[in-house]
Chain A
């Protein structure tokens, strides 16, 4: 074990929060990272175990394997029977679940603080001793196929999102759907899972985040006891698959039985890992907020309220994804308004960001919201753990969470204009439209 540091840099001009201790960070001898955020408001603890693996690590033919493995992690080890994990946590009054994303797979338990050790013991057990049973796998992969039908195949907006990413990214693994292509889910085998498990479920590829009514050194002692005996597995090399430069606007249409058209416009934009200078990513954060976050954003104020072309419009951008992603604009057109007209309106808003600097008021609004959100985030143990876990798993120091405000305060309107000109350009743009198709014969007509 190596004690890295115990840092909490108070960039915010906030009162000292008595109930909240310092974040502490440790690394076990086998390379596993442990991060503890004490929060003594309730006698409760959240434990999240994050693995650096998700759909963006996957290869064609076995997409969805990270997520299926996440499901199988509840199906037992040598010591713990199928689904017994969930029953044990339930009997302790806890709740448990897991989630998979492009860049991570995470397992969590929320329970009364005295039961933390049991949760860690169980997590350590399934990090190394998972039993992948053929029969259990066949049932569970059927559940995942139902999940895919629910979330994607029968969900027009989910389908558009999947196709949008698959078309926008020629090479980048962000083209993979998290849940996997249906054919891959039909041909997946236990051997695929076994190989994936052995490749990625190793203590040096995991981060334990514990937030709640605990002392960091107590958590460290428990983590050492249960995780340090686990051996490091040798990982095969992982080849990067960088996206080649796009050379013009890319367009796609999805036409399925649906009732409401929708529009996505994605501009490939660098994450912190790829920006030439860090301020660029923070300028994109500010740009995104001014453009499409909240009721006072430009998209809502101008395109929805003033022009009445859309009933809702917004944008999103993640500066801290593992790989570079997109700044995505999304709009639901008003009745009778063509998607092309909405696209034109959104492009005008993009152009106005390029043509003139944002106002001081707009910039100040982003700063003030950042200050407030930083405080609000502390109300939820789970969310605090999520923020830390996601940063670390994506390859960023959790301390970047505390530095954000300082960086955003330094951003100028000119810098926002500069990134708008550099990144929100046609050569980086993909436009996706959901155009409701006719329902097949036999479908009931709506009254």
Chain B
């Protein structure tokens, strides 16, 4: 029997008609639970997050994702067909996804008791008892190989993956979560089973629930959901990445455009420079066409359709990436422009007007981040996964407000010097 330990609860005033109350507790086996009551619609959204992303692949690229994909290909008494019919005949939606850090299982169901009970019992089997049938493994491998081929015919994907490889070298964030053909060929049921036993455990899981279930129901529901997981242990901390080698890599690709992707190591989820860098990036390239990059590269010069920069905060330093794409004969001049704009920004930092506009956009836009059950779920699930304080959302706006121009400048100069820039350019071959 699992004892539900109440930790804390927090009222978040979002300016909404009802304040959003985030509650969190930990089950006796160590699963952190994040919960928000949303009784207005007769539905429930739920996510289970395991620290079992592609960073846990070890020497077998693609393992984490292959297993995550196989969860819906048969569980307990159901083979893939039976499982799909069982869920879809009740309108229940389950999907899975793997990133570098997180393996997600997302569920959406009506809150009608008879349906929700089936949804939860099925999800419990899906996460705890994957069948890993031989034909299902073969099928998902085939599908993954097709995804790899589709990815490799896209210069955009090729460029992004090349940049990750260049930034992370031997670090587990480097490789494509899809894996590669030779690794996939070698992966067998035993290895997948072992991965499941190690990482799909109660201690390594976070559950987030938003919807039309009250606190007591939510506790029972989570207990039922994670009850059949092994207690297990939390995954070991990931090593920090080594400093990447700066420079430019070029790859010829049969396309009319060249994709220009630049990057550096960025921020950790609990980074001390999180807010200055977030606000700074918003001004530089994070706010679409109102950003410096959007204004200069697209609005003023018409060089690229997509132009943006973003931090992806992870357990350890995630990537910062700046990307654009333009016809081949203006690729080099566009790259130089992007570097010049970046250099100016790092040297000068934002002016007060830019800073003020960014704060207004970020702070004023905060209510939009929580404007649906699914958005609330996404926010609290990530909070729970990275063990961030429960008042993170509540203090977020204040922390954005407190960022000064000199803090942004200092943080960019120290953390993001242009000399560290890694660039990949993919394109240029005639069609």
A residues in contact (CB < 8 Å) with B: 14-15, 17-20, 40-44, 74, 82-83, 86-87, 90-95, 110-112, 138-147, 149-150, 153-157, 213, 256-260, 294-296, 300-301, 304-305, 308, 311-312, 332, 334-335, 361, 364-365, 368-373, 375-376, 378-381, 436, 439-440, 442-444, 446
Q: Interface of chain A, helix or strand or loop or mixed?
A: mixed
A residues in contact with B298, CB < 8 Å: 143
* Pair B85/A305 contact, Cβ less than 8 Å: no
The CA of A259 and the CA of B256, in the complex, are separated in Å by 17
Of the stretches B272-280, B284-292, B344-352, B412-420, the one at the interface is B284-292
A240 CB → nearest B CB, Å: 33
Judging by beta carbons under 8 Å apart, are B430 and A440 in contact?
yes
B359 → chain A closest CB, angstroms:
10
Q: Taking the complex as formed, is B302 at the interface, i.e. its CB lies under 8 A from any CB of chain A? A: yes
- Asked whether any CB of chain A lies closer than 8 Å to the CB of B2, the reply is no
Closest to B86 in A: A296
**Which residues does chain B contribute within 8 Å of A153, judged by CB atoms?**
255-257
Nearest neighbor of B144 in chain A, beta-carbon distance? A311
Pick out which of these stretches binds chain A: B58-66, B88-96, B235-243: B88-96
**Considering the complex, which residues of chain B in the window 129-170 have a beta carbon less than 8 Å from any beta carbon of chain A?**
139, 142-143, 145-146, 149-150, 152-156
- Taking the closest CB of chain B, its distance from the CB of A2, in whole angstroms, is 31
Q: In whole Å, how far is B80's beta carbon from the nearest beta carbon of chain A? A: 6
**What chain A residues lie within 8 Å of B340 (beta carbons)?**
none
Residue of A at shortest CB range from B427? A154
Contacts known (A143-B305, A296-B88); A17 close to B360, Cβ less than 8 A: no
Known A-B contacts A86-B290, A332-B146; A443 and B429 likewise in contact (beta carbons under 8 Å): yes
Q: Is B1 an interface residue (CB 8 A)?
A: no
Query: B88, A365: Cβ atoms under 8 Å?
Result: yes
CB-CB under 8 A for A83 and B327, given A91-B357, A213-B17: no
Query: With A368-B91, A372-B110 in contact, is A150–B325 under 8 Å at CB?
Result: yes
**C-alpha spacing A154/B152, complex, angstroms:** 12
Other-chain contact of A260, B15, B149, B305, B362 (Cβ < 8 Å) = B149
Tell me whether A369 and B363 are in contact in the complex, defined as CB-CB below 8 angstroms, given that A86-B288, A156-B153, A380-B374 are known contacts.
no
- Flag whether B221 is at the interface (Cβ < 8 A): no
Residues of chain B with a CB closer than 8 A to A381's CB: 371-372
Is B41's CB under 8 angstroms from A295's CB?
no
* With known contacts A42-B371, A379-B372, A143–B152 Cβ distance under 8 A: no
Interface string of B244-260 (1 = CB under 8 A from A): 00000001111111000
Q: Does B301 contact A (CB under 8 A)?
A: yes
Tell me the B304-342 residues at the A interface (CB within 8 Å).
304-306, 325-327
Cβ 8 A contact of B142, one of A145, A301, A311: A311
Residues of B within 8 A of A146 (CB): 257, 302-305, 325-327
- In the complex, chain B residues whose CB is within 8 Å of the CB of A368: 89-91
B361 at the interface (CB under 8 A from A): yes
* A295 in contact with B15 (CB, 8 Å): no
Q: Which of A145, A294, A304, A379 contacts B139 (CB 8 A)?
A: A304
A-B pairs with beta carbons under 8 Å apart, 12 shown? A15-B42, A42-B17, A83-B290, A91-B360, A93-B362, A112-B367, A150-B325, A157-B150, A305-B80, A361-B85, A375-B42, A440-B429
The docked-state distance in angstroms from the alpha carbon of A365 to that of B92 is: 11
Q: What residues of B have a CB within 8 angstroms of the CB of A82 in the complex?
A: 299
Given A259-B152, A260-B149, A375-B110, do A294 and B88 touch, yes or no (CB 8 Å)?
Answer: yes
Check B370 for interface membership: any CB of A closer than 8 A: yes
Contact of A440 with B81 in the complex, beta carbons under 8 Å: no
Q: Which residues of A contact B366 (CB under 8 A)?
A: 93
Q: How far is the CA of A312 from the CA of B431 in the complex (A)?
A: 28
Residue among B110, B304, B368 having the largest count of chain A Cβ atoms under 10 Å = B368
Contact of B289 among A19, A86, A260, A444 (CB under 8 A): A86
Which chain B positions have C-beta within 8 A of A140?
302
Taking CB as reference atom, which chain B residue is nearest A18?
A: B40
Tell yes or no: B365 within 8 A of A by CB.
yes
Asked if B72 is at the interface of the complex by the 8 Å CB criterion, the answer is yes
Closest 10 CB pairs of A and B: A93-B364, A372-B91, A142-B302, A139-B302, A295-B84, A19-B40, A296-B84, A147-B305, A259-B149, A260-B149
Which residue on chain B has the smallest CB distance to residue A332? Answer: B146
> Which residues from chain B contact A86 at a C-beta distance below 8 Å?
288-290
Is B8's beta carbon under 8 Å from chain A? no
- Could you tell me the distance between the alpha carbons of A260 and B153 in the complex, rounded to whole angstroms? 8
B373–A442 touching, CB < 8 Å: no
Q: Which residues on the A side are within 8 Å of B370 (C-beta)?
A: 42
Please, how many angstroms separate the alpha-carbon atoms of A295 and B81 in the complex? 8
Judge whether A376 and B43 touch: CB under 8 Å: yes
| Cα separation A83 to B287 with both chains bound (whole Å) | 13
Residues from chain B with a CB closer than 8 A to the CB of A376 are 43, 93, 108
Convert B395-427 into 0s and 1s, putting 1 for each residue whose CB lies closer than 8 angstroms to a CB of A: 000000000000000000000000000000000
Residues of B within 8 A of A149 (CB): 255-257, 325, 327
Bound CA span A44–B255, Å: 42
For A365, what are the chain B residues with a Cβ–Cβ distance below 8 Å?
Answer: 85, 88-89
List B residues 91-149 near A (Cβ within 8 Å): 91-93, 108-110, 139, 142-143, 145-146, 149
* Contact yes or no, B360 A295, CB < 8 A: no
Determine if A259 and B150 form an interchain contact, defined as CB atoms under 8 angstroms apart: yes
Contact B256 A154 (CB under 8 A): yes
B154 contact set on A, CB distance < 8 A: 155
A439: chain B residues within 8 A (beta carbon): 254, 429
Residues in B whose Cβ lies below 8 Å from that of A139: 299-302
Given contacts A87-B357, A93-B361, A144-B305, 9 further A-B contacts (CB under 8 A): A44-B371, A83-B299, A112-B368, A143-B305, A150-B257, A259-B150, A294-B84, A368-B91, A376-B43
